[in-house]
A and B are shown apart, each in its own frame.
Chain A
Amino acid sequence: DAKTTQPNSMESNEEEPVHLPCNHSTISGTDYIHWYRQLPSQGPEYVIHGLTSNVNNRMASLAIAEDRKSSTLILHRATLRDAAVYYCILTPRGSGGSNYKLTFGKGTLLTVNP
């Protein structure tokens, strides 16, 4: 499986944008990039995913580098509720069946200061 690298921790102030980076230099052309987050004492929560183009949803934006070797999760206005561990995960396109799984790394612990 292709590997992702994320900073161990990041800090942000409330109501400011947050850019969470993820490096995946060994990504294959058919890997999807997923982001999940885990709030304290809860199960992981889906945030966003994409393949090649930038993606937006109500929670966040995903900016994917042109060479796809890195991506950035953007929270436009951080709130205290966004304090969580953020995981960047690659899933091979077309994987389903015998190779479907999410491989979690250590993620980035985001602290949001009031």
Chain B
Amino acid sequence: KAGVTQTPRYLIKTRGQQVTLSCSPISGHRSVSWYQQTPGQGLQFLFEYFSETQRNKGNFPGRFSGRQFSNSRSEMNVSTLELGDSALYLCASSLAGTSNTEAFFGQGTRLTVV
């Protein structure tokens, strides 16, 4: 079955702009999580959605937001981009988002802010 698909794979944006990233989870999976990966901070949890509801949020400013659609596809948005937002953004899907299930990650979207 198809894996987790993230689009686009690469993105270059200018400081102050906004950006929307997309994630299509594995068919049947209802939980979608987003992570930011930078060389300095490693992998950090952004938020998790389940059945169109945000259930958990990490310690990121309100410029980072997301949503999930009825087909479980998810988008994350970053407004007023800063240079420090340059990172690899990863999406993970799991069947139900519980401690006893595995998460499947996409290849990520590499965002560069100039």
Contact = CB atoms under 8 A, between A and B. Distances in A.
Contacts of A100: 31, 33, 48, 55-56, 97-99
Q: How large is the interface on B (under 10, 10 to 19, 20 to 34, 35 or more residues)?
A: 20 to 34
Interface stretch (A9-17, A18-26, A66-74, A91-99): A91-99
A59 to B, nearest CB: 11
A44 B48 contact: no
A102 B108 contact: no
B94 to A, nearest CB: 8
Interface residues of A, number: 28
B59 to A, nearest CB: 11
Given A100-B33, A100-B98, A102-B35, 9 more contacts: A32-B99, A36-B103, A43-B108, A46-B102, A91-B100, A96-B97, A99-B56, A100-B55, A102-B45
Interface of B: 4, 31, 33, 35, 42-45, 48, 50, 55-56, 58, 90, 92, 96-100, 102-108
Interface of A: 31-32, 34, 36, 42-46, 49, 51, 87, 91-106
